[in-house]
Structure 1
């Protein structure tokens, strides 16, 4: 029977598997990550381990926190936090090429359902200087741009913090939301360690850092913790970031491939493409890892990088997901290599997206477009259209609707963006009525299903969805040029 990856078996790993960049047993914990999933393990954790190795530091080990289940803890705890990153690319001849590295930067994993007290203590500890987050768009429990104070999880966290303030004793009620857990930890820090902290959001949300800062402030004020809110405003920074690496779901075949390389069983394996990018606003309240020595870009202005990535890469990803799924393509690679669809998305980028962008320093947007489409065509990743299609109501506003609004402001009708939006609408309709294998996996699934039920025509379907103000800003939905273009495209696709 194959041995499982752990400290006890690490030395048994075959030479083809790259070992951790430094001894994980020598690391101390200096950061907390909320929302540990495949992306964090393939992205920020790798950057952090490489930064420690490059700078000769060992104090940035990560205390990782799961979200809705203990699954990642159950994967990594028996492995002493070790896991592999299987990089899947193509060689010079276009043939699949794989490499495996073992990462040791994650030094502890907690499940809030059972270990909220442990997480809060770590957030409040003076040795913790940094929090990073990847909780997905819907994890922030927002209503519009504000914290949804009616959300049950947020309400549970508010009640816990109010009780803690009333009694002056620690309340370790299980955290109900990532923002609630973070704010509860910061409130303890304000009255305890009182050392500065940096909170780094790594989700694909416009102005993600300031957004998290605003939600934390709203939570603390709603809990009556005005003093903690004032302390956070003075001692905690929320740098904006842009992250980029494609990290598809891990399959049994990839687990077998990794085991063949290392000779060890790895329940925590993640899969990623070779490419990785991290752009971070250089706005920190205290110490941080030397991420720039691991290839990250530190800048005074993330916005141009962020907008180019969200609109070119993420916008195109969504376009391919919905349009590709409607055409019967199972993966993004199949969709982008469909000659007709490939031409569609190239025209979308060239005619609608690039004219709205300011090129980031040192970036040629045409070359960036080509690199994005080449990455999407990597068949080794197996990124499914259904996977990318998830949570469309959360993704459309940041990936597509800003492009549409900017083109309309410039006096141009964004026909190709309208087609991408229309593909989402037809996808929603077919998934909601059960007429296809498509699945509507979306936090607004009930609202969307009710909106599309019984739509007698493409125009009616377009109008019903455009009228959902929680997705479409009234100024955009009310622009007859855009509405007409979407109606026309929905009619064509339906």
Structure 2
């Protein structure tokens, strides 16, 4: 059955449908970067709220700034912007649910002014973002906005025909300010530390170059709540679409698959209203920092610790690594000995339970999360997810061998061939740059660790860490992943 409004009532009884009339919804959110995660997370929570009969004025208008967003828009438009959320887990409590929280999607390629007008319209009170870690144009080595980038320079020169999120938001806020329309909240849902503060810094840096008065107005009138977001959402494959069709009879051009677990901790800092998401499980807080550090250190850090080692071993899915007892033992040691001692207490969270939940989630066979997805953009992920842990280990004079192995695995992975001789691509915008760093084994530690925007200054200046890195790299190259892990784990006892 093709998914659209007309066919909703004919879907199988086990498929959960919107409990609200989609025609009764009105837009309140514009979301830039409609992908799997946004649909499995923010759109999921908004739909859940609408199912209670509330929040019908918070429907989402999607915004696509990239050429590849056209297919996403066309797929959604072809089914009245409905999509299926297909939970995959190893238990029976998963759900299949049609979500109606997105009501339109506009593309920058179809005309910048129409998009600016949408963002400037009074009904849009939140502009949310999933633009990836690299989309904020912040230099990881110094935390400064990279104004020299060609796309930023273009937007500064052509404010009426922007290409970036900063150009569009500033153009819209300029119109709102001129018309006396209140500002909107800018809400990042990207997986990076202090995402609201990063967004604020980047937007204000752009605005200062664009118009000093606008900069001051944004500083005074726009809020940027920090958020911790979490739900494993693999790329939707043809196999997932066929599985949804065969098991539930739904023909959906772009369903979203995800794990049953979902979490959103959000600072309650909104300047123009917000949905009552707390009614459907979102945790509002004054300070998201402890939750963020827990998740980034334990979940994202452990993901990186698994992914390059797993890929080198020849595995291609996260659950395959977790079927290997060596990987489980290594991840538990990394979480318990290297990350947990750095964490402050997290209100309402038992860290022991949380770590076990992560092991269970990573072991989810049904979701078949691709290691390639987790491997992607390593040059952006390391400074956020792994380097802070290493810096703390160095500062405290603690052992760095397990953490050094994470970096060594990435270095060997960047050479593009696993230990079975299988060649693969490196999914990273800076792939050529990174590959050049590891082209000569004799110079790897010198070249790779000295890249300040990735590793900072403490790591290359720590003889103990550099020596640990070189030991781990040589062991991975000469003995392979399994033997290296066995040796590392033997030294724990």
TM-score range, shorter chain: over 0.9
CA distance in 2, matches of 1:91, 1:123: 42
Are 1:184 and 2:171 counterparts? Answer: yes
Partner SS state of residue 107, structure 1? strand
Are 1:481 and 2:443 counterparts? Answer: no
Partner SS state of residue 45, structure 2? helix
After superposition, what is the alpha-carbon deviation per residue over 1:104-163, rounded to whole angstroms, capped at 9, x for unaligned? 0001111212243222111111111101111111222333322222222222221222xx
Contact 2:404 2:469 in 1 (8 A): yes
Are 1:467 and 2:454 counterparts? Answer: no
CA distance in 2, matches of 1:311, 1:21: 38
* Superposed counterparts of 1:297-308, under 5 Å: 297-308=283-294
Are 1:444 and 2:444 counterparts? Answer: no
Contact 2:412 2:438 in 1 (8 A): no
2:97 alignment partner in structure 1: 101
1:380 alignment partner in structure 2: 366
CA distance in 2, matches of 1:382, 1:25: 36
1:32 alignment partner in structure 2: 30
Are 1:400 and 2:396 counterparts? Answer: no
Residue 117 of structure 1, aligned match among 113, 117, 126: 113
Contact 1:28 1:60 in 2 (8 A): yes
Contact 1:336 1:342 in 2 (8 A): yes
Contact 1:352 1:407 in 2 (8 A): yes
Partner SS state of residue 88, structure 2? strand
After superposition, what is the alpha-carbon deviation per residue over 1:256-312, rounded to whole angstroms, capped at 9, x for unaligned? 222245433111201000000000011111210011111010001100000100110
Give the deviation of 1:392 after TM superposition. Answer: 0.2
Residue 319 of structure 1, aligned match among 305, 314, 326: 305
After superposition, what is the alpha-carbon deviation per residue over 1:412-447, rounded to whole angstroms, capped at 9, x for unaligned? 122211111111111112359x96423211122121
CA distance in 2, matches of 1:257, 1:280: 34
Change (3 A) 1:126 1:424: same
Residue 129 of structure 2, aligned match among 133, 140, 163: 133
1:22 alignment partner in structure 2: 20
Are 1:425 and 2:443 counterparts? Answer: no
2:481 alignment partner in structure 1: none
Partner SS state of residue 101, structure 1? strand
1:80 alignment partner in structure 2: 80
After superposition, what is the alpha-carbon deviation per residue over 1:155-180, rounded to whole angstroms, capped at 9, x for unaligned? 2221222xxxxxxxxx3x2x422232
CA distance in 2, matches of 1:336, 1:262: 29
Partner SS state of residue 56, structure 1? coil
Give the deviation of 1:220 after TM superposition. Answer: 1.0
Contact 1:135 1:203 in 2 (8 A): yes
Contact 1:30 1:60 in 2 (8 A): yes
Contact 1:51 1:290 in 2 (8 A): yes
Change (3 A) 1:276 1:98: closer
CA distance in 2, matches of 1:389, 1:12: 40
Are 1:344 and 2:330 counterparts? Answer: yes
CA distance in 2, matches of 1:342, 1:286: 46
CA distance in 2, matches of 1:253, 1:475: 45
Contact 2:94 2:260 in 1 (8 A): no
Q: CA RMSD in A?
A: 1.9
Residue 41 of structure 1, aligned match among 39, 43, 46: 39
Which blocks of at least 5 consecutive residues in structure 2 are unaligned? 478-493
Shifted more, 202-211 versus 251-260: the winner is: 251-260
CA distance in 1, matches of 2:258, 2:444: 37
2:272 alignment partner in structure 1: 286
CA distance in 1, matches of 2:402, 2:421: 26
Give the deviation of 1:55 after TM superposition. Answer: 5.7
CA distance in 2, matches of 1:409, 1:454: 30
2:490 alignment partner in structure 1: none
Give the deviation of 1:382 after TM superposition. Answer: 1.1
Partner SS state of residue 79, structure 1? coil
1:64 alignment partner in structure 2: 62
2:8 alignment partner in structure 1: 10
Give the TM-score of the pair, scaled to structure 2. Answer: 0.92
Give the deviation of 1:40 after TM superposition. Answer: 0.3
Are 1:491 and 2:474 counterparts? Answer: yes
CA distance in 2, matches of 1:359, 1:327: 35
Change (3 A) 1:337 1:323: same
Are 1:276 and 2:276 counterparts? Answer: no
CA distance in 1, matches of 2:441, 2:259: 41
After superposition, what is the alpha-carbon deviation per residue over 1:188-242, rounded to whole angstroms, capped at 9, x for unaligned? 222224303211111111111011011111111112x111111111111000000
CA distance in 1, matches of 2:229, 2:196: 12
* Superposed counterparts of 1:404-419, under 5 Å: 404-419=390-405
Are 1:204 and 2:215 counterparts? Answer: no
Which blocks of at least 5 consecutive residues in structure 1 are unaligned? 162-170
Contact 2:173 2:183 in 1 (8 A): no
Are 1:216 and 2:214 counterparts? Answer: no
